[in-house]
Amino acid sequence: MNFFSDGVHDVRQVARGWRWGRRSQVPRSAEQFVLPQRSTVFPSDWSRRRPAMLAREVAQKGGLEPLFRSQVRTRVEGLDILERIQGPVIFVANHASHLDTPLILLSLPDAWRRRTAVAAAADYFFDTWWRAVGSSIVFNTFPIDRRGGSMATTPGEVLDQGWSLVIFPEGTRSNDGWIGQFRMGAAFLAHEHGVPVVPVAHRGTFAAMPRGQGWPAPGRRQLTVRFGEPMRPAEGESVRDFAPRIKDAVAALLDEDRSTWWEARRRAATGATPDPSGPQVAQWRRVWEQSESPVADRSRSRLAAWRRS
């Protein structure tokens, strides 16, 4: 019996040490270092060609817009600014919900909407083929890789092709509805490619569909979106200096949407614009404050402000 068990033990020892055609004889610590292969992010050039553009027009106007309007109410201001400029431009907006992208796209005039692409996180919207194809067709997204992969298409290439971009500089949706830190990608693109930045501020998307919620809240919540004056880097202004100005412009638009144009301009002139990152209070209070939808009818608030002034 001992002879049999000892034999089995010897066979197992040999099996563990045998190469079996794949184990290297060189210890891992002595192997030559090889850089890991960089994966290529999903290509999206096809989504900006004529067949995809026709399919997207049908998807947006025939499916997305009726569904979107049935779930929320919108108020759009500042579109007259787009009548005075020509594309391409970079729309820079705060990011609080998956409703942000359809809100901005469907608020644009048709001529602008048809020539606007959206920068989207590759590790979220392009992690599976069906999500990549669906978002590319419906929203004209192209991937921005946050994990160091090789880009199939860069934002600069999309701009050079004459497409405007929607960029969310925070890089991800807000956890509480307030604005997070702005990255410098949009400022860099504007600086390098000589295109203007159009700040965009919206409110109500977090209250309607916060992060973690898969469908808008019932009751057709109110959403607002406001387009600001185009911005360009000043002569000699660096990217690092231009990026905070973009964030300040979005903050001023948010302040204007909460109050009035005149009050917001006065605060901006004195450097008293409310901090868009919100008050430093308990997390539940920050979420609670952003859970309130904007006022649907601002005529009374405008009249009250006029009487106070």
Q: What is the mean pLDDT of each run of 10 residues along the chain (309 residues)?
A: 71 67 65 66 87 97 96 96 94 97 97 96 85 93 69 80 95 93 93 96 96 93 97 94 96 96 94 93 93 74 42
Compute CA 235 distance to the chain's CA centroid, rounded to the nearest angstrom: 28
Cβ atoms within 10 Å, residue 287: 17
Report the pLDDT value the prediction gives residue 154, as an integer from 0 to 100.
81
Whether 11 maps to a domain, the answer reads no
Domain total for the chain?
A: 1
Whether 224 maps to a domain, the answer reads yes
Residues 173 and 97: beta-carbon distance below 8 Å: yes
Report the pLDDT value the prediction gives residue 128, as an integer from 0 to 100.
85
| Tokens matching residue 189 | 């693109």
Whether 176 maps to a domain, the answer reads yes
Residues 35 and 150: beta-carbon distance below 8 Å: no
Report the pLDDT value the prediction gives residue 84, as an integer from 0 to 100.
93
Whether 183 maps to a domain, the answer reads yes
> Rounded to the nearest 5 degrees, what angle is found at the Cα of 184, between the Cα atoms of 134 and 254?
80
Q: The domain spanning residue 172 has which CATH number?
A: 3.40.1130
Residue 146 sits in which domain range? 45-293
Cβ atoms within 10 Å, residue 137: 18
Whether 64 maps to a domain, the answer reads yes
**pTM, whole model, 2 decimals?**
0.83
